[in-house]
Amino acid sequence: MMNRPRVSVRRRKHNVITFDPGSGAVTIDPLKDQNGNVLVGFQALLLQAAIDRAAKNTIRVELLQTQLQAQNDQIHFANDLMARLLNSTPTDPAKNQGATIAISPPLSAKDKEIIRATAVKPPENTLDKYFKSLDANPLELVNGKSFNDVTTAMKNEVNRLTNQNQQEMINYQSMINQRNQMLEWVASLITMMATQTSSTIANLR
């Protein structure tokens, strides 16, 4: 009886792969169960998880882009309204009895939306409560409110929108960095798995 030639197969272990966002380094550590057996298929699961994470980060980036565009539009409209108010400064901006604002052009639907969304101190709560009617021209202020009160509230609103936008820009850049890091991790993982597959095939020959 002929002896079969003995084939030596060197098995490659599956590993825990971690990614350091700071350095971009990928480290590999053996992954075993409580009995010391190597967990087979872990790299494929890790790759799928990394791809899912990269996809979710991409979606978050797109959502933040939409939010930032909406914020930029809101800041633009608020700045425009602020400029028109300052161009309509009455002779006595501190007058708080029967004061009027002859704003030009008259308030648009967007202007009214911004005024209704601008917060002020209680008991008014929102800037539209400073006016008897937003449809009037010139605008007539309620007793106790002056042109200065209106412009102060609008300046605060513009500052609030600008600060919020700046924070969102920071979050946006952070999310882009996370997405890019995860994409790089996916690419590194695919490359490493391909290298291990080639090496395993070579060992079987």
pLDDT of residue 9: 32
pLDDT of residue 12: 38
- Which residues have a Cβ under 8 Å from the Cβ of 122 and sit 6 or more positions away? none
Residue 2 lies in a domain: no
The single residue listed with the structure tokens 């890019």 is: 180
d(CA 29, CA 18): 8
User: Mind listing the pLDDT tens digit of every residue in the chain (205 residues)?
Assistant: 444 433 333 333 444 555 555 555 555 555 555 565 555 566 666 777 777 777 788 888 888 888 899 999 999 999 999 999 999 999 999 999 999 999 999 999 999 999 999 999 888 999 999 999 999 989 999 999 999 999 999 999 999 999 999 999 998 888 888 888 877 877 777 777 667 666 655 665 5
Residue 6 lies in a domain: no
pLDDT of residue 31: 55
15 and 42 Cβ atoms separated by less than 8 Å: yes
Residue 45 lies in a domain: yes
115 and 107 Cβ atoms separated by less than 8 Å: yes
β-sheet bridge partners, residue 26: 19
Residue 171 lies in a domain: yes
Q: Note down the domain range covering 24.
A: 15-204
d(CA 80, CA 85): 9
Residue 41 lies in a domain: yes
Number of compact structural domains in the chain:
1
Q: What is the pTM of this model?
A: 0.65
Task: Give SS3 for 139.
Answer: strand
pLDDT of residue 77: 96
Residue 24 lies in a domain: yes
pLDDT of residue 52: 77
Residue 75 lies in a domain: yes
Residue 4 lies in a domain: no
Q: Which long-range contacts (CB under 8 A, 24 or more apart) does 39-46 make?
A: 39/14, 40/14, 41/14, 42/14, 42/15, 42/16, 43/14, 43/15, 43/17, 43/189, 43/192, 43/193, 43/196, 44/193, 46/17, 46/189
